A and B are shown apart, each in its own frame.
Chain A
Amino acid sequence: MTPSRARAALIEAAAGAYRPARPGGGICSHPAWHDLDPAGREEAFLAAARARRLEAALDKEGLSATARAVLARIAGW
């Protein structure tokens, strides 16, 4: 994979809403986010914001994947 494709994949991965749970409680940062430079992290932030708006607009209850992830954690408590 070319460096630019690898970077784009990291940005896309970090822009997703899935975050692993921390062993002692809480939410971990995404491993891909740590592999990005500051500019890549800024891009991931913008990509995530756009992705969440698209997801919410396509969801029948207007909920993004972030909201769904939070509700799933609450349901599991």
Chain B
Amino acid sequence: MTLDTILANAPRIETHQPWPCAVVDPVAWQQMAGSLAAGELTLLSLWGEAGRIHMAVLRDDTPKVAVLSLDCPDNCYPSVGRLHAPALRLERAARDLFGLEPVASPDVRPWFDHGRWANEPAPAYGFLPVEGENLHQIPVGPVHAGIIEPGHFRFTCDGETVVRLEQRLGYVHKGIDALLAGAAVPRALRIAGRTSGDSTVAYGFAFCRAIEAALGIAVPPRGAALRGVMAELERIANHLGDFGAVCNDAAFSIMLAHCGVLREQVLRCAAACFGHRLMMDRIVPGGVAVDLSPDGTAALLGLLAALRARLPPLVTLYDETASLQDRTVGTGIVRPALVRRFGAGGYVGRASGRDFDARRDLAYAPYDIVRFEVPTRQDGDVNARVWIRILEIEQSLSILEQLLKALPQGPTREPVEEAASEPREGMAVVEAFRGDVLVWLRVAAGRIERCHLRDASWFQWPLLEAAIEGNIVADFPLCNKSFNCSYSGHDL
């Protein structure tokens, strides 16, 4: 049974937009798990709700995306992770949040649930056993040495060499799924926009597109263009920050100083044009909450010119500093096969040859009217992930210029009618700076019944465990920063 036969024969959720959603039986569910394991499909996400489990898959054919839903009357379903490892952590999360048991899963340890929600003494976590001579362990975190988010890393080392890294996450679990359930759309939007602060534009964008898909709302061209402007500003600001921070972790702090200045100029421009440095809460269902003035357009074009003048010398400096290249080239390699299997997006995927970008491959406004390239590399090391960022900044500058020079006139926002009372389901995938963010939701009478947010980090964190293997402990900060996974976006 292929996905096409399932989509042709299984009952559909008719209100699910824009991609089809089929209600399947356990046999079909297991066959799709087999297709994922065979590499015929890519897992986009897996999530639960009371008595039901869903998965979203991606493929090259039309429809590119499909959702499969399985009712679990006894709160059990056949494990996808048993055959396809990328689903494991998602299944552990769904078990913690909704009590759904993945039958025959090789890993049913709690993930988000640290045993602390009921204010009782927390049980010990079962780290995977490691056997071998002369091995020692280095436990790091949850509180780390820098100004970064909390998580636990358990390194097992042979001398200086890391033979295994095991992550334990969930420390910043805020209960976002439960907060969203029952929330009115405006409140849900504010929460979604605070899932991962560095991607607040992308989350707002994805959440609103999912709402618009569910309710059939069309965004006016000017609103769509301004969304693109904000999304690209966010991408540039984050890539600049990462470029500087990776170099800083190789003790080349002058790059952080330069990139910090450029990043600050982007944020100030964002504040001047849109009223918030990180552009939080600026994207709303139907369009955007703020318009861009002619002065704002001029300021942004000035920013583009400044970045185009200032960035190339820094890139040359990066490329010609042998001591820096010595740290980044050949460090933290992720094999292309692993990236494909995990469907890892963003610079992690593209640095290891996975040619996917939601802006192009699941095109949405305003990216359907601009020209851009999706840079990829095959080497998959820290250097490749830095280079993808550099090349993406150049592409984003080009996209910004195209959008700003042909900014449509007219309204920025379509009024949203009082929503229908029957439930409607919508879904969206948006390319954040770190990779694709997926939002799936069911809305009825202006309230969210269930909303699932899947950060790109879900499929990148496990690859960091693979990237560090065989590297020295001292290179972990470099590898980690080159991934820059979100803790909050993952922990929800």
Q: Do A and B bind each other?
A: no
